[in-house]
Structure 1
Amino acid sequence: MRRITLSLFNILWLIVGLQRIIELGWAKKNADWMKQQGGYEVGSKHYPLLVNMHLLFFISTFIENLWRSKIIISWWWIPFLIFIFAQALRIWCMVSLGRYWNTRIWIVPRHSPCVRGPYRYLRHPNYLAVILEFLSFPLIFGAVVTSVVFSLVNLFILLMIRIPIEEQALKQGTSYEEVMTPTRFWPKQKSE
């Protein structure tokens, strides 16, 4: 049973790694399209911080798991289910945004902000998916310290740096304020 579980964990690592590589390629393709539409990038100075944080997150999860001698926690399936939910939410966000999805902040002036899919309910559902990933992925492998530390760092970077930059750029370059309410999370419902 332990060997089967370890094999499943190895497969999970492989899937997540491939997913990230594919996402970076998709983000580049989308960025090229947005640039052709007159789009521009905002907040590029903090992007290396995000990339390095994500890279260190995966390295830390791996090292902490090795340090714990690859001990498999008995409740690994709980964070695994949370992680699967986060992946489903992440894919829903990507599909809903289509060509506008990116790992960077791209603004295409005069284009309407997305209010499809999970964006009907939350302003930043993709960031919720990332928050859930940072919390759950390390816990699958018993990396509790990584889960706590990187979840806090991620929250700080998202809430204090990334989201304010993105919201300001969306307000300046699109009809964001017309579509979204002044509240933090919920978009305005269009009256028929």
Structure 2
Amino acid sequence: MLLAGAILGLVTLQRLGELLLSRRNTGRLLAQGAHEVAPGHYPLIVALHAAWLAGLWYLVAWRADVDVSVGWLAVFVVLQALRVWVIATLGPRWTTRIIVLPGAPLVKEGPFRFVSHPNYCIVAAEIVVLPLVFGLVWYGIVFSALNALVLWIRIRAEEAALRQ
């Protein structure tokens, strides 16, 4: 129980920190003349991720019999390193919203050399892997399906914004 709570606590703190960083970066980008694209789906993303994390807290943190898979935890740690790589590559342009800064070139360094939406690949993997750390296969599958629907909306909106 203690290890599971510590893992979920760290993930929760990480996500809250990322929301603060995103808010700061969004404000700076908007002050530079950027604009947000397709904000209507953003509450869906926030709700999905909040429900995913809250559900994990509910199912895992208070149980005394939780087994933590060290192998899946190692995979999750690698995903966190990749997440940091994406955020560091985008620097002040990283945000959880679709923010377009006119005239700014597309980022093609770091993980963007290999895939056009590395953060979405990482998030998709995280959504299934963290539940697997706690043996919740069904939970990972359900939230992966929900995330796929939200990402379908999100990526279409972002690709349209990038084409303009």
Q: Is the 8 A contact 2:124 2:147 kept in 1?
A: yes
Instruction: Give 1:66 deviation, angstroms.
Output: 6.4
Q: Distance in 1 between matches of 2:142 and 2:70?
A: 21
Residue segments in structure 1 that go unaligned for 5+ positions in a row: 1-5, 173-192
TM-score where L is the length of structure 2: 0.93
Runs ≥4 residues deviating over 4 A: none
Residue segments in structure 2 that go unaligned for 5+ positions in a row: none
Q: Is the 8 A contact 2:33 2:102 kept in 1?
A: yes
**What secondary structure does 1:86 align onto?**
helix
> Which structure would you say has the larger RCO, counting Cα contacts within 8 Å and 6 or more residues apart?
2
More helix by share: 2
The match for 1:139 is: 132
The match for 2:158 is: 166
Identity fraction in percent = 36
Q: Is the 8 A contact 1:90 1:129 kept in 2?
A: yes
- Selected match of 2:47 from 52, 56, 63: 52
Is residue 91 of structure 1 aligned with residue 90 of structure 2?
no
Matched AA of 1:72: V
Q: Distance in 1 between matches of 2:114 and 2:130?
A: 25
The match for 1:39 is: 34
TM-score where L is the length of structure 1: 0.80
Q: Is the 8 A contact 2:132 2:140 kept in 1?
A: yes
- Selected match of 1:155 from 148, 151, 154: 148
Using a 3 Å threshold, how does the CA distance of structure 1 residues 123 and 97 change in structure 2: closer, same or farther? Answer: same
Instruction: Give 1:142 deviation, angstroms.
Output: 2.0
Q: CA RMSD in A?
A: 1.6
Q: Is the 8 A contact 1:70 1:141 kept in 2?
A: no
Instruction: Give 1:72 deviation, angstroms.
Output: 3.1
Q: Is the 8 A contact 1:93 1:125 kept in 2?
A: yes
Count of aligned positions: 164
Q: Distance in 1 between matches of 2:162 and 2:64?
A: 44
| CA shift digits 1:118-139 (9 cap, x unpaired) | 0111101001110111011111
Q: Distance in 2 between matches of 1:19 and 1:135?
A: 17
**What secondary structure does 1:99 align onto?**
helix
Instruction: Give 1:78 deviation, angstroms.
Output: 2.2
Matched AA of 2:163: K
Q: Distance in 2 between matches of 1:8 and 1:126?
A: 27
